Amino acid sequence: MILMICEMCGKNVTFLKKVTIEGVMLDVCSECAKFGIESKKETPKEQGPRPIIAQRLEFREKRARPRDVLERMEKEDIVEDYAQRIRIAREKLGLSQKELAMKINERVTILSKIESAQMRPDEKIIAKLQKELGIVLKEKIPEVVAAKESARASLTLADLIKMQK
Choosing from 5, 8, 25, 69, the residue that interacts with Zn ion (CB under 5 A) is: 8
* Best CA proximity match to 111, nearest among 137, 131, 90, 93: 90
Q: How far is the CB of 29 from Zn ion (least distance, A)?
A: 3
Q: Does 29 bind Zn ion (CB under 5 A)?
A: yes
Q: Does 6 engage in binding with Zn ion (CB under 5 A)?
A: yes
Helices (H), 46-143: 52-64, 67-74, 82-92, 97-103, 108-115, 123-133
By residue count, the chain amounts to 165
5 binds Zn ion (CB under 5 A): no
Using the contact rule CB under 5 A, the part of the chain among 4-12, 48-56, 82-90, 112-120 near Zn ion is 4-12
Under the criterion CB under 5 A, does residue 26 sit at the interface with Zn ion?
Answer: no
Contact call for residue 9 and Zn ion (CB under 5 A): yes
Three-class secondary structure assignment of 15-59: CCEEEEECCEEEEECHHHHCCCEECCCCCCCCCCCCCHHHHHHHH
24 binding Zn ion? (CB under 5 A): no
How many residues belong to the site for Zn ion (CB under 5 A)?
7
Binding site for Zn ion (CB under 5 A): 6, 8-9, 11, 28-29, 32
